[in-house]
Structure 1
Amino acid sequence: MRRVLFTLGTAVALTGCSVFGQDTPCTLMDMDSGVSVVWRPADFGGTDAATVRLCVEDRCEERASGDADVPFAGVTVRLPDDIGATTVPVRLKVTEARDGRVVVEDSRRARLSKQQPNGASCPPTVWTATFRAHPAKGLTSPKGLSPR
């Protein structure tokens, strides 16, 4: 009898939450809703040569452009997780750290996309959009962004 209970207990432990009505076990990846912008630090001069400011609606985040030897940098403006599939205004401003000159200024409307990092039947459900900060084109698609 102990062997049967041990076997059943082991089976439940190894199958995760699939025993409780789900086809696949949930992982524990966490994620937040938000709009992100990524860039190549080398595109904006030397190490921390610029400040990148991203605003979504009335929320803003900024950071230094980063180490020119590192392939990518980014900043995210966090949004409420229950924001849903909506469109939000996004503004980007990149200024030179040395003299405050604006080198990139752009705005777009971002349609947030549903993301479920642990699968369709597992939490969390978040809403995201991602752009690339391009030195000549402003906010663009991040597709094709390579470290070169």
Structure 2
Amino acid sequence: MTVERAVRWVVAVAASVTLAGCGEEPRACTLIGAESQVTVAWDAAAFPAGALYRLCADQICREGKGPAEDAPFGSFTLPLPEADGEQRMTVRFRVTDPVDGSTAYDRSAQVTLRKSQPNGEHCDPTVWQAAVRADPKAGLAPVR
């Protein structure tokens, strides 16, 4: 499965879960959890094995290591606990080669946090999310 297909699949599942949420009254709300966040996804073969990753959204950053060596794609999520509403922000994704410490990838993109209600329109939680795809040739691109 390609990264694009994987990201589309995640977005499609989230959308279908949102549509299947609480709906019309008097149905009870489901209990799907969610948080405001920015997610980056990439083809695992595109970056060095064991690379270190840094994802920032404006001034909030998170660091971590890459996916398992046999994983077809990687993803990394940055929680945004203070996000409250649709807003544009700059997302930056940096990959550091674990062998020599050099920067293997460093790109930025503008994204807009979009409203998501995974349990339905009248049910909590309401969160704000965005996703980007990292590609060495195409750069960092928002996923819609």
Q: Could you say which TM-score interval applies, normalised by the shorter chain?
A: 0.7 to 0.9
Which residue does the alignment assign to 2:15?
none
Matched residues in 2 for 1:35 and 1:139: separation?
13
Letter in 1 for 2:122: S
Shift of 1:89: 1.3
Which residue does the alignment assign to 1:7?
none
Which residue does the alignment assign to 1:76?
77
TM-score, scaled relative to structure 2: 0.76
Which residue does the alignment assign to 1:39?
42
The reply to whether residue 29 of structure 1 matches residue 32 of structure 2 is yes
TM-score, scaled relative to structure 1: 0.74
Specify the SS of the correspondent of 2:45.
Answer: helix
Residue deviations 1:81-139 (CA, integer Å, cap 9, x gap): 55200111111111111111111111111111110110111100000000112122231
Which residue does the alignment assign to 1:102?
103
Specify the SS of the correspondent of 2:46.
Answer: helix
Specify the SS of the correspondent of 1:42.
Answer: helix
Specify the SS of the correspondent of 2:121.
Answer: coil
Residue deviations 1:39-95 (CA, integer Å, cap 9, x gap): 22222133x1x1121001111112212223112221111113552001111111111
Larger radius of gyration: 1
Structure 2: state its 5+ residue gaps: 1-21
Shift of 1:28: 0.4
Specify the SS of the correspondent of 1:62.
Answer: strand
Specify the SS of the correspondent of 1:119.
Answer: coil
Equivalent residues in 2 for 1:10-29, closer than 5 Å:
22-29=25-32
Equivalent residues in 2 for 1:56-75, closer than 5 Å:
56-75=57-76
RMSD between aligned residues:
2.1
Letter in 2 for 1:102: T
Which residue does the alignment assign to 1:130?
131
Answer yes or no: is the 8 Å Cα contact 2:55–2:63 preserved in 1.
yes
Letter in 1 for 2:30: T
> Could you say if the C-alpha distance between residues 137 and 103 of structure 1 is closer, same or farther in structure 2, counting changes exceeding 3 Å?
farther
Count of residue correspondences? 123
Structure 1: state its 5+ residue gaps: 1-16, 144-148
> Could you say if the C-alpha distance between residues 82 and 103 of structure 1 is closer, same or farther in structure 2, counting changes exceeding 3 Å?
closer
